[in-house]
Chains A and B, each alone.
Chain A
Amino acid sequence: QQQVKQSPQSLIVQKGGISIINCAYENTAFDYFPWYQQFPGKGPALLIAIRPDVSEKKEGRFTISFNKSAKQFSLHIMDSQPGDSATYFCAASLLNYGGSQGNLIFGKGTKLSVKP
């Protein structure tokens, strides 16, 4: 019930292409879905997040698509650039769950390589 399943594990995209990473969750009570970007040796950085009352959120080249009925959400990176090469993590949380104060449940990550 608390898992977030992320795919693919790794992804290679040509420069200028679209990168798509998918996540699926089980707990329908989750109410916050962020994506994090992590470069080697650095801490994850919050990239973009969505709540279940909207189906899409766009920030620059990054878009989250959210399908509540399918319990899935995805990250789309348009016009992918070599500088986007990083590991991406999806996550989900429930603000109040047994007093956990919104602890994030993370997917296992996707290593994205954008080839020039």
Chain B
Amino acid sequence: SQTIHQWPATLVQPVGSPLSLECTVEGTSNPNLYWYRQAAGRGLQLLFYSIGIDQISSEVPQNLSASRPQDRQFILSSKKLLLSDSGFYLCAWSPSGGHEQFFGPGTRLTVL
């Protein structure tokens, strides 16, 4: 069966510090991968999606970037965090050519 992991689970970072969040998927190959952000009590905002290694599309221009160095690894990064980057970051995967998206457990990021 497929599983999706995210780490860290929680993170508190000062403004201006760098960020690296990692997501890995097990039990499948060539998945589509997604990064979402969810502000407190709000909906899901798609940040990036990837249909393959080094194939990243950005949905919202911002302070963040994404990379996919391996087939089942998706990384969300920032060089300098802003207060507005605080939120709940969710990674998701879907089978290539499929509709269903499955979410990871999320990372709670607080920027102080």
A interface residue numbers (CB < 8 A to B): 31-32, 34, 36, 41-46, 49, 89, 93, 95, 99-104, 106-109
Most buried by B among A43, A100, A106: A43
B83 within 8 A of A: no
Closest to B6 in A: A43
Closest to A98 in B: B57
Question: Do residues B90 and A102 form an inter-chain contact, with CB atoms below 8 A?
Answer: no
Question: Do residues A106 and B49 form an inter-chain contact, with CB atoms below 8 A?
Answer: no
A-B contact count (CB 8 A): 57
Question: Do residues A106 and B106 form an inter-chain contact, with CB atoms below 8 A?
Answer: no
Interface residues on B, range: 20 to 34
Nearest 8 interchain pairs by C-beta:
A43-B103, A32-B99, A108-B43, A106-B44, A43-B106, A44-B103, A102-B99, A43-B105
B interface residue numbers (CB < 8 A to A): 32, 34, 42-44, 46, 49, 51, 57, 59, 90, 92, 94, 96-106, 108
Complex CA gap A105/B102 in Å reads 14
Contact of A108 among B42, B100, B101, B105 (CB under 8 A): B42
Question: Do residues B43 and A101 form an inter-chain contact, with CB atoms below 8 A?
Answer: no
Question: Do residues A43 and B104 form an inter-chain contact, with CB atoms below 8 A?
Answer: yes
Neighbouring B residues of A89 by C-beta, 8 Å: 43-44
Complex CA gap A95/B94 in Å reads 11
Complex CA gap A85/B22 in Å reads 30
Question: Do residues B99 and A49 form an inter-chain contact, with CB atoms below 8 A?
Answer: yes
Question: Do residues A41 and B108 form an inter-chain contact, with CB atoms below 8 A?
Answer: yes
| Contact of A104 with B101 at beta-carbon distance under 8 Å, contacts A44-B90, A89-B43, A89-B44 already known | yes
Contact of B100 among A46, A106, A107 (CB under 8 A): A46
Neighbouring B residues of A43 by C-beta, 8 Å: 90, 92, 103-106
Question: Do residues B44 and A46 form an inter-chain contact, with CB atoms below 8 A?
Answer: no
Closest to A4 in B: B43
Neighbouring A residues of B90 by C-beta, 8 Å: 43-44
Closest to B100 in A: A46
Question: Do residues B51 and A101 form an inter-chain contact, with CB atoms below 8 A?
Answer: yes
